[in-house]
Amino acid sequence: MRLRLAPPQGAFAEPHEVICALLEELGRRTESAGASLIGHLKCYVDAPSGESFHGSLTSLRSGPRCRGERAQGATSLTVDLTALVYGLSADQVEAVTLATLRHMQEQGRFEWELRELNHEHGHDQGDGHAHHHEA
Amino acid sequence: MNLLLFSGFLGSGKTTLIRAFAQRLTDEGLTACFIVNEVGEVGIDGRVLGDGGLDVYEITAGCICCEIASSLVTTAEQIVERYHPDLMIIEASGIAAPEGVLKALAHRRGELFQDQLVVSLVDPTRLEMLLAVALPLTEAQIGGADELVITKLDEATPDELAAARKTLRDLAPQTRVSEITSENPDSFLPLLGRLATFGASN
Ligand SMILES: Nc1nc2c(ncn2[C@@H]2O[C@H](COP(=O)(O)OP(=O)(O)OP(=O)(O)O)[C@@H](O)[C@H]2O)c(=O)[nH]1
Ligand SMILES: [Mg+2]
């Protein structure tokens, strides 16, 4: 899904921190919702300055990581997010993601707006393949 | 042109390794084109690799080892026509079996590319869970590799590392295994050297 995040006021001092916090909260919530394995939560983030970076989380133990430009002081962030998670349906992953965003807004981390929602393409369950779901 | 296919579960470190390898290729004066396949509709790795200045073709919204195998062939044809690189490098999606990807291209071997090499990455910190949740996929990725790579050495516990080594020995006793960590670029060197030699051998 594509999101637009805006700071509660002013600018995001450290966008990496905001995105890492988002990935971590999303990871926690997918696990509490019953995910058997986080595949990869990842995103690509653009700031109005043209700076960009990517964020990733593969397990709560390893924690989130952001790499790329720091985009300090960005007044908004455009975030392309994919959540590939085992053990939850696509609808469940989407619901968890939206709940995470609402929670973080309530915590005063950012205001968010959904720009685009992608729908999962089927993937056959044949040999070598496993279920995944995407938000 | 030779074909180098990177496979391995979601988040095992494929894009991280490919970025390091791309630098090595540049240093050695070798040319490469990159194909990234992601299951999601929004491509992320294409942009991550593109930030490194690479020529990247993205194939999203499906898995190249089955549903959209034909777009892989079309993309490979375009690459050969336009660039004639030394190497075509494919990052398979984390849920692809390397065998399926190779099968999609098999009928063009000799024409589009000469030699092929499959490198599969294994994240030791999640291998045990992965074997429980996605055994056939994991077996296909490990069993289908010409080179195996254990990643995230910096994060794995000694037990996880020992278990990963044992699993690889059991599933692919003949295959060479490297161990790397992105925290120490030197750990990449022997592997990258072999891959570059493969790239230069066409
Ligand atoms: N600690 C540590 N993290 C690593 C290492 N290698 C990769 N990572 C991190 O693991 C995460 C996933 O790495 P990627 O290179 O994106 O993995 P991938 O296999 O390309 O992922 P998909 O394309 O989504 O299947 C990123 O946050 C990387 O920074 C490593 O050696 N050590
Ligand atoms: Mg990748």
Predicted confidence at residue B39, as pLDDT, reads: 81
The nearest CA of chain A is from the CA of B171 a distance in Å of 14
Across the interface, which of B44, B63, B129 has its CB nearest the CB of A43? B44
Predicted confidence at residue A119, as pLDDT, reads: 60
The residue ranges of every structural domain in chain B are 2-200
- Show the beta-strand stretches assigned E in chain B: 2-8, 32-37, 56-59, 87-91, 116-122, 147-150, 176-179
Predicted confidence at residue A107, as pLDDT, reads: 97
Say if residue A135's pLDDT is above 70: no
> Which residue type sits at B190?
P
Residue B12 CA, ligand 1 centroid: distance in Å:
5
A51-79 pLDDT tens trace: 999 999 999 999 999 999 999 999 999 99
Q: For A102-129, what is the mean pLDDT?
A: 73
Q: Write b or e for each residue in B63-101: b if 16 or more Cβ atoms lie within 10 A of its Cβ, otherwise e.
A: bbbbebbebbeebbeebbeeeebbbbbbbbbbbbbbbbb
Predicted confidence at residue B4, as pLDDT, reads: 98
The nearest CA of chain A is from the CA of B129 a distance in Å of 7
Q: For A114-123, what is the mean pLDDT?
A: 66
The nearest CA of chain B is from the CA of A110 a distance in Å of 22
- What's the CA gap between B12 and A43, in Å, rounded? 16
Collect all residues of chain B within an 8 Å Cβ-Cβ radius of residue A82: 38, 40, 42, 44
Could you tell me the pLDDT band of residue A116, with boundaries at 50, 70 and 90?
confident
Side by side, which strands form the sheet with A77-86?
Answer: A65-68, A52-57, A37-46, A77-86, A2-6, A111-116
Q: Tens place of pLDDT for every residue, chain B, 202 residues?
A: 999 999 999 999 999 999 999 999 999 999 999 999 988 778 899 999 999 888 899 987 677 766 677 888 999 999 999 999 999 999 999 999 999 999 999 999 999 999 999 999 999 999 999 999 999 999 999 999 999 999 999 999 999 999 999 999 999 999 999 999 999 999 999 999 999 999 999 8
Collect all residues of chain A within an 8 Å Cβ-Cβ radius of residue B48: 44, 54, 68
Q: What is the pTM of this model?
A: 0.94
- CA-nearest of A86, A93, A105, A103 to A1 is A93
- Show the beta-strand stretches assigned E in chain A: 2-6, 37-46, 52-57, 65-68, 77-86, 111-116
Collect all residues of chain A within an 8 Å Cβ-Cβ radius of residue B67: 121-124
Which residues of chain B have a Cβ shorter than 8 Å from any chain A Cβ? Answer: 9-11, 38-42, 44, 47-48, 51, 61-63, 65-67, 94-97, 99-100, 123, 125-126, 129-130, 132-134, 136-137, 140, 152, 155
Which of A23, A67, A82 to probe the B interface (max B CBs under 10 A)?
A82
Say if residue A87's pLDDT is above 60: yes
- CA-nearest of B92, B53, B57 to B75 is B57
A123 and B40 within 8 Å at the Cβ level: the answer is: no
Q: For A21-47, what is the mean pLDDT?
A: 97
| Ligand 1 site residues, Cβ closer than 6 angstroms | A 40, 42, 56, 58, 65; B 8, 10-16, 45, 94, 151-152, 154-155, 181-183
Predicted confidence at residue B110, as pLDDT, reads: 92
The residue ranges of every structural domain in chain A are 2-122
Collect all residues of chain A within an 8 Å Cβ-Cβ radius of residue B134: 37, 86, 130
Across the interface, which of A37, A118, A129 has its CB nearest the CB of B40? A118
Paired with A37 in beta bridges are A86
B47 and A44 within 8 Å at the Cβ level: the answer is: yes
Predicted confidence at residue B154, as pLDDT, reads: 98
By CA distance, what is A43's nearest residue in B? B44
Q: So what's the ipTM on this one?
A: 0.93
CB B119 within 8 A of CB B146: yes
Predicted confidence at residue B175, as pLDDT, reads: 98
Residue B185 CA, ligand 1 centroid: distance in Å:
14
Average pLDDT, chain A: 90
- B2-200 homologous superfamily: P-loop containing nucleotide triphosphate hydrolases (3.40.50.300)
* Strand A77-86 with A2-6, pairing: antiparallel
A 2-31 residues with CB < 8 A to B: 2
